[in-house]
Structure 1
Amino acid sequence: MAATLLRIHPENPPQNRILQAVEVLRKGGIIIYPTDTVYGIGCDIHNAKAVEKLCRIKGFNPEKANLSFICHDLSHISDYAHGITTPTYKVLKKALPGPFTFIFEASPKAPRIGGVRRKTVGIRVPDNQIILQLVRELGNPIFSTSVREDENTLDEYVTDPDLIFEKYRALVDLVIDGGFGNNTPSTIIDCTNDDFELIRQGAGDIEQYL
């Protein structure tokens, strides 16, 4: 069945449309949504079949896939990430919501991917009202990755929700049009050693929060 294109106002998302997207996730669907960086593609972290389908769509090996979680606030982070110190938490509180992916040691509550428990998790809290409200209503994070196929290629379609819909309409269940997106990914920061190690420079500048 072809995907639905759902247009949602980016600053004042109507509750009924957010709930429509949440229902798709709860039924094991794959959705595409705006973030504060590149449009993302994701599913409910607790639905193993949906996670496997997401990996197939993106060509990932589920046992090796490095998917991040999108959380709606810092309270969710402590559920799935282990060993967050007070100094680290203070930086997160200043930097989030924002265009960062923070890598932490995985807590025992972090779900398996492809039957494998991960040692680390990537955590995102994007500065985008659509995805934050969606995750809040869902009640738990979603697995997320970028719609981009190649980090080194500037593909026009990844910023235009209509072009994204044309590309993915036969693969996913819902595409949310929240306006034009960006083509710069999140900045990835490794916090597993109680430090802020820059792994990938993207849209966010972590130095201003340290």
Structure 2
Amino acid sequence: MNIKDDIKNAVEVMKRGGVILYPTDTVWGIGCDATNAEAVARVYKIKQRDDSKALICLVDSDVRLQRYVRNVPEVAWDIMELSTKPTTVILDDAVNLAPNLIAPDGSIAMRITREAFSKELCYRFQKPIVSTSVNISGKPAAQNYRDISPELLEAVDYVCFARRQEHKPHTPSSIIRLQKDGKVEIIRD
């Protein structure tokens, strides 16, 4: 399957409220429409994860990020621009997202992806996409397609074809929390 059709299929599934598995700029991700509370609830259920633990969202651009976070601090742009590896930033004042995706304190974990497939997927979908590692909560993340358990492959509505043959090490993103008072906290390096 070509990449254009793969992305089109994934977008159609998410528009219908479905859940997908897809390669990202880090490990393989479980994804859905970040504005659809029912789809987000399904992701929590598939991962067997407590919904009090936040999920990451991917976007394709700084413009899109600003539609879902009320006030992005200047330091966030510097961190994302200067990072040498994929970096997720936890920002306050999330808006226009599924309520069960936003942390109790009003924050959301967002990352602008630069990897070709996930960036194009986000661009074509025109909304943030949930991006949580493909694994049961507490188990190792699937770095490559071949690491994904049959249980998880069967739990979703669509599995992307892109990068299925790839076999190389991938690591989760760095996570940095930016507080309203300007404090920067490294959650995961």
**From 86, 89, 103, the counterpart of 1:99:** 86
Structure-1-length-normalised TM-score: 0.76
* Residue in 2 that maps onto 1:188: 175
SS at 1:199's partner residue?
strand
- Residue range with higher mean Cα deviation, 187-196 or 174-183: 174-183
Q: CA deviation at 1:90?
A: 3.1
Moved over 4 A (4+): 114-118
Question: Could you tell me which residue of structure 2 aligns to residue 26 of structure 1?
Answer: 15
| Partner of residue 171 from structure 1, selected from 125, 150, 155 | 155
Secondary structure in 2 matching 1:133: helix
SS in 2 for 1:17: helix
Judge conservation of contact 1:37–1:182 (CA < 8 Å) in 2.
no
Q: Match of 1:37? A: 26
Gaps of at least 5 residues in structure 1 are 1-6, 9-13, 202-210
Output the TM-score relative to the length of structure 2.
0.83
1:126-165 paired onto structure 2 within 5 Å: 126-149=113-136, 158-164=142-148
Q: Which moved more, 1:189-198 or 1:53-62?
A: 189-198
CA distance in 2, matches of 1:165, 1:23: 24
- Aligned residue pair count: 185
Letter of the 2:120 counterpart: Q
C-alpha RMSD of the superposition:
2.6
Unaligned runs of 5+ in 2: none
Alignment of 1:32-71 (within 5 A): 32-62=21-51, 64-71=52-59
Report % sequence identity: 27
Distance in 1 separating the partners of 2:14 and 2:123: 13
Deviations 1:57-116 (A, max 9, x none): 111233x130111111111221222332334323323338x4111001033333301798
SS at match of 1:80: coil
